[in-house]
Amino acid sequence: MKEIYADNAATTKMREEVIIEMKKFYSVEYGNPSSFHYRGLEAKRAVENARKKVAEILNCKEDEIVFTGGGTESINFALKGIAFANREKGMHIITSKIEHPAVLNSCKWLEKQGFEVSYIDVDENGIVKLDELKNNIREDTILISMMSANNEIGVIQPIGEIGKIARDKEIYFHTDACQIAGALDIDVSKLRVDLLTLNGSKIYGPKGIGILYIKQGTNIEPLIHGGGQERGLRGGTENVPAIVGFAKALELAQDERLKGNERLIKLRDKLIDSLLKIKDTKLNGHRTNRLPNNVNISFFDIEGESILLHLNEKEIYASTGSACSSHNLEPSHVLLAIGLSHDIAHGSIRFSLGRDIKEEDIEYIIEIMHKIVENLRKISPVKIKGGLK
């Protein structure tokens, strides 16, 4: 039985082309880019070529790109770096309720350091409430951080509009763009951002690598102090193979995104429409303003971990927003933010499709899910629509 990996929002399988690009930097061109000799220079050249590639894609200057150890590090760098560099100006930050834990927990830590954070609500489709955002802007607001697209429910935010609001008020604007790099245009002037986070593991590239785009002139403190690498903004010997791999993965992802989106949207919509035909189901997140590969559906009266275990047995790999599968026994904060009750949140499953998923895989998932839902409902005493049975 072939396995069907439908958890690409968590991480992706590296492409062969990326692995091939990276290989020689492990054992042939293995130098430290800071070294003065030829091995060092050749590594430095590889890093700068990668930087050039990334800058072209983002439509920015090369020295506005800093390579980091991943999306989480970029986010920590952006939030803490802006906060500490600008705290004389103000100590208020605005973000949304549905951000990635890297944003939310960085904000929680900043609150402990005396900063104030406003967490803006989203509507029932997951879209940030722009009026509430505007109303929360204060004289002492120094940063707005909003994710470009949500990893759980796939909803795409109006980043260009938020950028305009931020620019009008001269507030730094950061976006976590990890989920859009393979699907949308990441031209930073169109997005109107001052800072942008990307990572490799969502675009068929290496794990443990990311970038932070920092607009020229931005006042920011480094997060990681060290040997002066990345123009003093991020210390540590550069992960040359991963940097090269990241640039290659980003290039391929952007080159293929329009065709890729077309194919994925068809498969995504087929999966959504077929699963919604099962009674007592609900799609989570905006129906059309969502990532081409994201399907997130709640199945009433049954629980997510149980569904996953059945899927696991059939070698279909997905994820859930159920409390039972989290270490703190709380259901997904994103599902609660869009207004799902706890009991409906417990029955949610996310399928995030990838490059190599085929139509017959989608049909198989549909067939299996029908059976799983029937089996679990047969033994369930719950009827959410009408209260307990």
Handedness of CA 103, 107, 110, 115 (dihedral sign): positive
Q: Helical H runs in 59-171?
A: 71-85, 101-112, 130-136, 159-168
Query: Of residues 136, 218, 261, 325, which one binds another protein by CB under 8 A?
Result: 325
Q: Determine if 329 is a binding residue for another protein (CB under 8 A).
A: yes
Q: Report, in Å, the least distance between residue 364 CB and another protein.
A: 19
Binding residue count for another protein, defined by CB under 8 A: 37
Q: Determine if 319 is a binding residue for another protein (CB under 8 A).
A: yes
Q: Which residue has the tokens 């010997």?
A: 237
Q: Determine if 112 is a binding residue for another protein (CB under 8 A).
A: no
With 0-12 / 13-18 / 19 or more C-beta atoms within 10 angstroms meaning exposed / middle / buried, residue 1 is exposed
Q: Report, in Å, the least distance between residue 199 CB and another protein.
A: 16
Query: Of residues 331, 334, 340, 372, which one binds another protein by CB under 8 A?
Result: 331
Q: How far apart are CA 76 and CA 189, in angstroms?
A: 23
With 0-12 / 13-18 / 19 or more C-beta atoms within 10 angstroms meaning exposed / middle / buried, residue 351 is buried
Query: Of residues 37, 112, 259, 327, which one binds another protein by CB under 8 A?
Result: 327
Query: Of residues 29, 137, 305, 339, which one binds another protein by CB under 8 A?
Result: 305
Q: Determine if 303 is a binding residue for another protein (CB under 8 A).
A: yes
Measured from the CB atom, the residue of 55 and 372 that comes closer to another protein is 372
Query: Of residues 62, 168, 273, 313, which one binds another protein by CB under 8 A?
Result: 313
Measured from the CB atom, the residue of 11 and 219 that comes closer to another protein is 11
Cα 10 to the center of its chain, rounded Å:
9
**Catalytic residue flag (residue 324):** yes
Site string for another protein, 58-77 (x = CB under 8 A): --------------------
| Tokens encoding 126 | 């997951």
Strand partners, 176: 197
Q: Determine if 328 is a binding residue for another protein (CB under 8 A).
A: yes
Q: For strands 65-68 and 210-214, give the pairing.
A: antiparallel
Site string for another protein, 227-266 (x = CB under 8 A): ----------------------------------------
Q: Are 253 and 182 in contact (CB under 8 A)?
A: yes
Q: Report, in Å, the least distance between residue 75 CB and another protein.
A: 16
Q: How far apart are CA 211 and CA 60, in angstroms?
A: 13
With 0-12 / 13-18 / 19 or more C-beta atoms within 10 angstroms meaning exposed / middle / buried, residue 192 is middle
Q: Determine if 1 is a binding residue for another protein (CB under 8 A).
A: no
Contact residues toward another protein (CB under 8 A) are 101, 301-306, 308-310, 312-313, 319-329, 331-332, 341-343, 346, 378-382, 384, 388-389
Active site residues: 324
